[in-house]
Amino acid sequence: MGQADFLRDGGTFRMFQGNVTFLCLQPKLVACTFLSYSSSFLMLPAAASSTIMVGFPVNFQFRTWNADGLLLSAQFNPEPCRLELLISNSRLLLTLQSSGQQRSEASAG
Protein backbone atom coordinates (compact mmCIF):
# COMPACT_ATOMS: atom_id res chain seq x y z
CA MET A 1 0.00 0.00 0.00
CA GLY A 2 1.46 3.36 -1.06
CA GLN A 3 1.36 6.54 1.02
CA ALA A 4 -1.46 8.04 -1.08
CA ASP A 5 -3.57 4.88 -0.61
CA PHE A 6 -2.87 4.91 3.13
CA LEU A 7 -4.02 8.53 3.44
CA ARG A 8 -7.07 7.93 1.27
CA ASP A 9 -8.12 5.02 3.53
CA GLY A 10 -8.18 7.27 6.61
CA GLY A 11 -4.68 6.63 7.94
CA THR A 12 -3.17 9.22 10.24
CA PHE A 13 0.47 8.86 9.20
CA ARG A 14 1.63 11.77 7.08
CA MET A 15 5.13 12.36 5.82
CA PHE A 16 6.10 15.34 3.70
CA GLN A 17 9.39 16.16 2.07
CA GLY A 18 10.49 19.36 0.35
CA ASN A 19 8.47 22.58 0.07
CA VAL A 20 4.90 22.04 1.26
CA THR A 21 2.02 24.49 1.04
CA PHE A 22 -1.07 23.89 3.18
CA LEU A 23 -4.41 25.53 2.45
CA CYS A 24 -7.33 25.26 4.86
CA LEU A 25 -10.56 25.62 2.92
CA GLN A 26 -12.80 25.60 5.98
CA PRO A 27 -12.73 28.65 8.29
CA LYS A 28 -10.64 28.14 11.40
CA LEU A 29 -12.41 29.34 14.54
CA VAL A 30 -10.25 30.29 17.50
CA ALA A 31 -11.59 31.66 20.76
CA CYS A 32 -9.31 34.04 22.68
CA THR A 33 -9.76 35.36 26.21
CA PHE A 34 -7.69 38.33 27.33
CA LEU A 35 -7.12 38.60 31.06
CA SER A 36 -5.66 42.10 30.87
CA TYR A 37 -7.67 44.30 28.51
CA SER A 38 -5.21 47.16 28.76
CA SER A 39 -2.11 45.30 27.55
CA SER A 40 -3.30 42.14 25.74
CA PHE A 41 -3.57 41.84 21.97
CA LEU A 42 -3.78 39.29 19.19
CA MET A 43 -1.46 39.63 16.19
CA LEU A 44 -2.43 37.98 12.92
CA PRO A 45 -0.02 37.32 10.05
CA ALA A 46 -0.20 39.88 7.25
CA ALA A 47 -1.51 38.84 3.87
CA ALA A 48 0.64 39.24 0.78
CA SER A 49 0.31 42.65 -0.88
CA SER A 50 -1.13 41.04 -4.03
CA THR A 51 -3.89 39.47 -1.91
CA ILE A 52 -4.76 42.81 -0.33
CA MET A 53 -5.10 44.46 -3.74
CA VAL A 54 -7.55 41.77 -4.86
CA GLY A 55 -9.39 41.63 -1.53
CA PHE A 56 -10.03 38.95 1.05
CA PRO A 57 -12.84 38.24 3.54
CA VAL A 58 -12.29 38.50 7.29
CA ASN A 59 -14.87 37.75 9.98
CA PHE A 60 -14.53 38.54 13.68
CA GLN A 61 -16.86 38.14 16.63
CA PHE A 62 -16.16 40.24 19.72
CA ARG A 63 -17.73 40.11 23.16
CA THR A 64 -16.75 42.60 25.83
CA TRP A 65 -18.08 44.37 28.89
CA ASN A 66 -15.85 47.41 28.30
CA ALA A 67 -17.42 50.68 27.16
CA ASP A 68 -14.19 51.79 25.43
CA GLY A 69 -11.36 49.92 23.75
CA LEU A 70 -9.53 49.09 20.54
CA LEU A 71 -10.77 45.86 18.92
CA LEU A 72 -8.78 45.75 15.70
CA SER A 73 -6.14 47.82 13.93
CA ALA A 74 -4.37 47.29 10.62
CA GLN A 75 -1.66 49.22 8.78
CA PHE A 76 -1.73 49.00 4.98
CA ASN A 77 1.09 49.69 2.51
CA PRO A 78 2.40 50.98 0.10
CA GLU A 79 0.31 54.10 0.85
CA PRO A 80 0.36 54.47 4.63
CA CYS A 81 -3.24 53.91 5.63
CA ARG A 82 -4.57 52.79 9.03
CA LEU A 83 -7.84 50.99 9.73
CA GLU A 84 -9.20 50.83 13.29
CA LEU A 85 -12.26 49.19 14.78
CA LEU A 86 -12.95 50.37 18.32
CA ILE A 87 -15.60 50.81 20.96
CA SER A 88 -16.11 54.40 22.08
CA ASN A 89 -18.82 55.28 24.61
CA SER A 90 -20.37 51.82 24.05
CA ARG A 91 -20.67 52.47 20.29
CA LEU A 92 -18.82 50.63 17.54
CA LEU A 93 -16.59 52.98 15.51
CA LEU A 94 -14.70 52.18 12.30
CA THR A 95 -12.07 54.69 11.15
CA LEU A 96 -9.84 54.79 8.09
CA GLN A 97 -7.02 57.33 8.10
CA SER A 98 -4.80 57.94 5.07
CA SER A 99 -1.32 59.43 4.88
CA GLY A 100 -2.70 62.89 4.05
CA GLN A 101 -4.51 62.97 7.42
CA GLN A 102 -7.79 62.35 5.59
CA ARG A 103 -10.09 60.46 7.96
CA SER A 104 -13.31 58.54 7.26
CA GLU A 105 -15.57 57.23 10.03
CA ALA A 106 -18.60 54.97 10.37
CA SER A 107 -20.35 54.14 13.64
CA ALA A 108 -23.16 51.93 14.90
CA GLY A 109 -24.93 51.33 18.19
pLDDT digits (tens, 9 = 90+) for 58-104: 677 777 777 888 888 888 776 778 888 888 888 899 998 887 778 88
List the chain domain ranges: 3-108
Q: What pTM was estimated for this model as a whole?
A: 0.54
CA dist., res. 47 & res. 63, Å (int): 25
Mind listing the pLDDT tens digit for each residue in 20-40? 666 666 766 777 777 766 677
The DSSP code sequence of the chain is --HHHHHHTT-------S-------SPPP-----S-TTT-----PPPPHHHHHH------------SSEEEEEEEETTTTEEEEEEEETTEEEEEEEETTS-EEEEEE-
